[in-house]
């Protein structure tokens, strides 16, 4: 237990931990500029079409092996389908209906399915304190969602259906959580992280392209410099930089402990949403935010204390 505690406080954990939380906190708002007048599915494809070759280049420069066995390729395809297709397609479409900060807040609950999937696939135990803290966090997020629903009963934030946005975000959470946990199995641990992610991103990008063609038709070519600068930021900073750091954290300190950076992500996302999207705080939302953060801290603290050394 003391070794894991020291690991959490070491610079090689803290730096990527804070960096990924801060960058991902900013990406939620950048995504809103990618779905304004452009089909969300094509924006997901453009993001990873740029990020994929960059990630392969990173793997090559790091001299990581890029030849995967058949079993490793199957794992990469599974991670790609859930992480770089399902997760992001659901998230981008969710932000058509719900403000970016709220979607980020919902994703802070990633620790709950992370723990459940880790129990199923990796045999990790779920402790009582984790369940209690998670319940408090869920109540807090529910207050935020209830306020969102009340504030937009008819028109919604953009597209007119807050309930649909919440449902899509929940599906995105489940997809991301499954990818988080399944890549940490013995097969995944035998593959250099950046190599596994490069192949996973390639498979996800191919699916994104097919999905976009089938659901929206031929790809549009936006002429906005802001749109393409957002794509570059999301692809290179929000994906190529952060995903290897994030998944290495999952391997090094576990999916539950890595979820601590969701607190950083949420704080940044809600600050940006308040400043740039006009998110209005009320007594209910402030209470919800407080409960969510306290619940996350309680849940993750309990999980860390009970984890085997």
pLDDT tens digits for range 137-159: 888 888 887 877 776 654 444 44
**Structural domain count, the chain:** 1
Who contacts 140 (Cβ-Cβ below 8 Å, separation ≥6)?
Answer: 287, 288, 289, 290, 291, 292, 293, 294, 295
Q: What is the pLDDT of residues 54-95, one digit of tens each?
A: 999 999 998 999 999 999 999 999 999 999 999 999 999 998
pLDDT at 53: 96
pLDDT at 156: 41
Q: What is the pLDDT of residues 172-205, one digit of tens each?
A: 999 998 888 888 788 888 898 889 999 999 999 9
Asked whether residue 220 carries a pLDDT value surpassing 90, the answer given is yes
Average pLDDT value over all residues in the chain = 83
What is the model's pTM?
Answer: 0.80
- Give the whole-angstrom CA distance, residue 296 versus residue 140: 10
| CB-CB contact of 101 with 285 (8 Å) | no
For residue 191, is it left (φ>0), alpha (ψ between -120 and 50) or beta?
beta
Please measure the distance between the N-terminal and C-terminal CA atoms of the chain and give it in whole angstroms. Answer: 5
> Confidence class of residue 9 from pLDDT cuts 50, 70 and 90?
low
131 exposure class (CB count in 10 Å sphere: 0-12, 13-18, 19+) = middle
Give mean pLDDT, residues 5-13. Answer: 61
Q: What percent of the chain has pLDDT over 90?
A: 37
Q: Give the length of the chain.
A: 309
Domain that holds residue 221: 2-306
Integer-rounded Cα radius of gyration of the chain: 19
Give mean pLDDT, residues 38-55. Answer: 95
pLDDT at 155: 41
Q: What is the pLDDT of residues 16-26, one digit of tens each?
A: 888 998 998 89
| CB-CB contact of 99 with 106 (8 Å) | no
């Amino acid at each position: 237990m003391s070794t894991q505690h020291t690991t959490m406080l070491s610079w090689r954990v803290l730096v990527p931990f804070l960096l990924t939380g801060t960058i991902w906190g900013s990406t939620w708002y950048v995504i809103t500029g990618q779905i304004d007048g452009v089909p969300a599915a094509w924006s997901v494809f453009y993001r990873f079409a740029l990020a994929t070759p960059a990630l392969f280049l990173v793997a090559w420069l790091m001299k990581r092996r890029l030849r995967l066995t058949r079993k490793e390729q199957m794992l990469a395809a599974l991670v790609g389908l859930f992480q770089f297709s399902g997760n992001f397609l659901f998230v981008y479409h969710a932000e058509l209906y719900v403000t970016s900060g709220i979607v980020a807040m919902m994703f802070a609950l990633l620790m709950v399915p992370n723990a459940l999937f880790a129990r199923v696939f990796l045999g990790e135990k779920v402790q009582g304190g984790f369940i209690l803290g998670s319940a408090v966090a869920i109540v807090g997020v529910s207050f935020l969602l209830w306020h969102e629903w009340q504030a937009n009963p008819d028109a919604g934030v953009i597209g007119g259906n807050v309930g649909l946005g919440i449902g899509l975000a929940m599906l995105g959470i489940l997809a991301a959580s499954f990818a988080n946990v399944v890549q940490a199995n013995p097969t995944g641990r035998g593959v250099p992280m950046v190599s596994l992610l490069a192949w996973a991103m390639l498979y996800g990008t191919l699916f994104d392209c097919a999905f976009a063609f089938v659901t929206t038709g031929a790809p549009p070519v936006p002429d906005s410099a802001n749109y393409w600068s957002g794509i570059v930021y999301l692809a290179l900073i929000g994906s190529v930089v952060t995903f290897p750091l994030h998944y290495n954290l999952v391997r090094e300190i576990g999916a539950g402990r890595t979820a601590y950076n969701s607190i950083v992500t949420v704080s940044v996302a809600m600050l940006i949403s308040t400043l740039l999207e006009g998110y209005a705080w009320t007594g209910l939302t402030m209470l919800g935010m407080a409960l969510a953060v306290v619940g996350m801290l309680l849940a993750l603290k309990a999980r860390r204390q009970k984890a085997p050394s």
